[in-house]
Every structure is written in structure tokens, then in C-alpha cells.
Amino acid sequence: MPSVSCVTVTVPATTANLGPGFDCIGAALTLYNQFKFTRLDSAKPELKITVTGAEAERVNTSADNLVYQSFVKLYQHISETPPSVEIEIDLGVPLARGLGSSATAIAGGLVGANLLAGSPLSQAEVMELAIAMEGHPDNVVPALLGGCRLAATGLNEPQRGEPREEGWEICEVPWHSDIVPVVAIPDFELSTSEARRVLPNQYSRADAIFNTAHLGLLLRGLETGREDWLRAALQDRIHQPYRKALIPGYDAVREAAMAAGALGMVISGAGPTLLAVVRRDLCVSVEEAIATTWQQEGIKAQVRSLSIDLHGASSSTEALP
Ligand SMILES: Nc1ncnc2c1ncn2[C@@H]1O[C@H](COP(=O)(O)OP(=O)(O)OP(=O)(O)O)[C@@H](O)[C@H]1O
Ligand SMILES: N[C@@H](CCO)C(=O)O
């Protein structure tokens, strides 16, 4: 059988947390990064990385590149030496803005390597590796599978005794077609590690109950499109109260979006992108309100109504005869 010599993987952006679902829920969005892997037949080990698209110059093209690190990780997992490779990255997802750029890089590198290696790992195994690399499941799971997804640690099925925590249960969350994600992407970066550093290590019982109840309400609100449920559900006490100080203009933008009819506004992933959840007929007014307010705060931002990507990472391969 001819072996695969070239693989192209397209991976969607993702928005994680959706307010109360810190580190466990995320949705794929219709914005994409593309990664092309070409096996090189050079005698000595070789790596070439080229990057095109917005902010291409900000991506590291050495062996530390996260796409290549993920590519190597898969080969290590199957105990094989990674081949010499050329990686062409075309960026459509802004970097370090809370739209899952690192998850696209991890998913792209793992899926590309798995296909070049002849698909030794199942999709579930690739997902486990991706979650381990990212450290939490809420971006990589929808990036790989598409849609809105909730991820919770699973339990094994022991022959006897107590089950132990093992693997992940992934659950698709239906997203009502009248409900639109509007993203407001400011022109400054906020790294996830910095945004995680400001979070406390412990929370009160009241805050834990608050988020548990609101996440439950969010799942039913997204499924039914019920506005009163969504309006109440898009609240959080685990991360946003601590992170909003890292996003200049947060309170003013949120107030303007709500006044223009948004059902809620949350921090997308670790920020600084803000995500308004909006009824379809009010998208244009909410977009305008957000853009104007951030401009008044002296911040340039791109504001766009997107859709939920339903396919996740997709790929095509070419083989040498
Ligand atoms: N296409 C890419 N190629 C290589 N590395 C990338 C790529 N996209 C992102 N990265 C790496 O991931 C880093 C950004 O990751 P970070 O977790 O801080 O932000 P994010 O994933 O965009 O946001 P969030 O996790 O909040 O959604 C970049 O600085 C870069 O090191
Ligand atoms: N759940 C993660 C998403 C960003 O990677 C966070 O908010 O830190």
C-alpha cells in the first residue's frame, strides 16, 4: 500500500468556559487554522516550518513550535522516530486571544502525525494525548470533534472493588440555532498561563454551588434557546471575577453589549476575547455596541458574529505511488 507523504489538517477555533463551565465546556467556532505536513526524504533529520496569515511573524519556527512538539509527541507515544518534515501553517485563529490557538496547534500536530504514521491511534487515543498536552479538555475536545462539548473525567469498570477515575466522558451539548456567538477580539494578547495565575486555589461552597447550578441551567438554555435561562446561566464565580481586571474596558463593553440586547457576555477561554451570546436578530446591534465602546476605551477590536463549527478537525492526505 502506498504510504501517506502529505497531510493537510484544518482545525477550528474554540471558545472555552462559556461563563460557568470553567475547564469543562467549549464550542468550536467557524474560524480555522490549517496545517500541512510533508514528509521529507532527507538523509539527515530535517525540520522546515513556514507560517502565513495574520501575525505569522509571532509564531516560533524552531523545534519548540507547538505544532512540531505535538507531532513529535505522537511519534514518541508509538515509540517511533519522527520523520523529517516540512510544516506549513496558515493562521486564521488569532494567537493568545482566548480562541484556542494552542488547541489548534496541538490537534493539528497530533492528527497530522497520526495520519503520516499510518493511523496507529484511534480518534479517542489522539484526544487523550491532546487533553494531556493542553492540560484541560475544554478547547481540544471541540477542536477535534466540533460542536459544543462537555468533558468530565470517567470511571473505569473494575471486575471487583471501587471504580477508579479513568479517561474522559465527552458529551455533545445541543446549541439552539437562534443563539449566535459574537466574538470581540481586542488587539492585545493575554497568555493562558498568566490568566490562570490570578485564580485562587480554593473556593467557597457557595461559589461551587453557584457555578454547578448555572452550568446545568446553561446546558438546558443552549439546547432550548430559552432566553431567561441563558440570561441567568451566563454567570460565573470561578474565573471571571479574578480575570476581568486583566482586560481593560471589560465592564464598559459588557454593559454596552447587555444594553444592546445580548443575553450575556463572558470571557472567551482565558481571554482577552469577550464572547457575547446573542439572539440572531440582535447580532448587528450588539456588534456595533461592542465595537464603539471598545474604541471609546482606546482599544482596537475585531467584532464578528460566528457560527458553531459542527465538524471539528478535518484532514486530507496525498500518497506517493
Ligand atoms: N499555529 C500555531 N503554531 C504554533 N504555536 C502556536 C500556534 N498557535 C498557538 N501557538 C502557541 O500557543 C500560544 C498561545 O496559547 P495560549 O494558551 O496562551 O492562548 P490560546 O490558546 O490562544 O487561548 P485560550 O487557551 O485561552 O483559548 C502561542 O503563544 C504559541 O506559543
Ligand atoms: N479553561 C481554560 C481555557 C483556556 O485554555 C482557562 O480558562 O484557563
Cell digits of residue 91? 493562521
CA 127 to ligand 1 centroid distance, Å:
18
**CA 2 – ligand 1 centroid, Å:** 34
98 marked as binding residue: yes
The verdict on whether residue 220 carries a ligand-binding annotation is no
Taking the CA of residue 270 as reference, the ligand 2 atom at the shortest distance is: 7
- Ligand 2 centroid from CA 117, angstroms: 30
By most ligand atoms within 8 Å of CB, the mutation choice from 66, 190, 192, 236 for ligand 2 is 192
Q: How far is the CA of 37 from the centre of ligand 1 (A)?
A: 19
Ligand closest to Cα of 90 equals: 1
Residue bearing the CA closest to ligand 2, atom 8:
270
Q: Identify the pLDDT of residue 159.
A: 81
Whether the predicted pLDDT of 168 surpasses 70: yes
Q: Residue 187 above 90 pLDDT? A: yes
CB 17 within 8 A of CB 150: no
State the pLDDT confidence band at 2, using cuts at 50, 70 and 90: low
pLDDT, one tens digit per residue, over 42-58 is 777 899 999 999 999 99
How much of the chain exceeds pLDDT 70, in percent?
Answer: 99
pLDDT tens readout for residues 80-130: 999 999 999 999 999 999 999 999 999 999 999 999 999 999 999 999 999
Instruction: List residues bridging with 278 in a β-sheet.
Output: 180
Is 83 annotated for ligand binding? no
pTM: 0.96
- Residue 300: CB atoms within 10 A of its CB come to 11
Q: Which ligand is nearest to the CA of 31?
A: 1
Ligand 2 mean position, distance from CA 16 (Å): 6
Helices (H), the chain: 66-77, 101-116, 123-134, 140-145, 192-197, 205-224, 227-233, 240-243, 250-259, 283-296
Show the cell assigned to 103.
488547541
Kindly report the CATH class assigned to 179-305.
alpha beta
Contacts of 81 (CB under 8 A, 6+ apart): 75
Going by pLDDT thresholds of 50, 70 and 90, the confidence category of residue 321 is low
Q: Which one is the CATH code of 4-153+308-319: 3.20.20.70, 3.40.630.10, 3.30.230.10, 3.30.565.10?
A: 3.30.230.10
Q: What is the pLDDT of residues 207-230, one digit of tens each?
A: 999 999 999 999 999 999 999 999
User: Looking at residue 1, what is its pLDDT?
Assistant: 55
- Indicate where the chain has its CATH 3.30.70.890 domain(s): 179-305
Instruction: Output the DSSP codes for 5-48.
Output: EEEEEEEEEEEE-TTT-TTTEEEEEEEEEEEEEEE---SS--EE
Give the per-residue pLDDT at 268.
98
Question: Which residue intervals of the chain bear CATH 3.30.230.10?
Answer: 4-153+308-319
ipTM of this model? 0.98
